[in-house]
Amino acid sequence: MKSRKALVLLSGGQDSTTCLYWAKNRFGSIEAIGFNYGQRHVRELEIASTTAQEAGVSYYIATVNTLSDVSENALTKNSIDVEESVTAGMPPNTLVEGRNLLFLTYAAIYAKSKGINDLVIGVSQTDYSNYPDCREQFIRSAENSLSLAMDYKFTVHAPLMWRTKAETWLLADELGVLNIIRHNTLTCYNGIIGDGCGNCPACKLRKKGWDEYVFSSKFKVQSSKFKV
Please tell me whether residue 48 binds Zn ion under the rule CB under 5 A.
Answer: no
Please tell me whether residue 186 binds Zn ion under the rule CB under 5 A.
Answer: no
Residue 26 to residue 5: CA distance in whole angstroms:
10
Please tell me whether residue 25 binds Zn ion under the rule CB under 5 A.
Answer: no
Give least dist CB 185 to Zn ion, A: 12
Out of 197, 214, 221, 228, point to the residue binding Zn ion (CB under 5 A): 197
Please tell me whether residue 38 binds Zn ion under the rule CB under 5 A.
Answer: no
Residue 35 to residue 171: CA distance in whole angstroms:
25
Give least dist CB 14 to Zn ion, A: 12
Please tell me whether residue 92 binds Zn ion under the rule CB under 5 A.
Answer: no
Residues 202-221 that bind Zn ion (CB under 5 A): 203
Q: Which long-range contacts (CB under 8 A, 24 or more apart) does 70-78 make?
A: 71/96, 71/97, 71/98, 73/97, 74/40, 74/189, 75/39, 75/40, 75/189, 76/37, 76/38, 76/39, 76/40, 78/40
Give least dist CB 34 to Zn ion, A: 20
Please say which residue, 8 or 74, places its beta carbon nearer to Zn ion.
Answer: 74
Q: Residue type for 150, please?
A: M
Q: Residue type for 107, please?
A: A
Give least dist CB 93 to Zn ion, A: 15
Please say which residue, 74 or 111, places its beta carbon nearer to Zn ion.
Answer: 74
Name every residue whose Cβ is closer than 8 Å to that of residue 51 and which is 6 or more positions away in sequence: 10, 12, 17, 20, 180, 184, 185
Site of interaction with Zn ion (CB under 5 A): 188, 190, 196-197, 200, 203
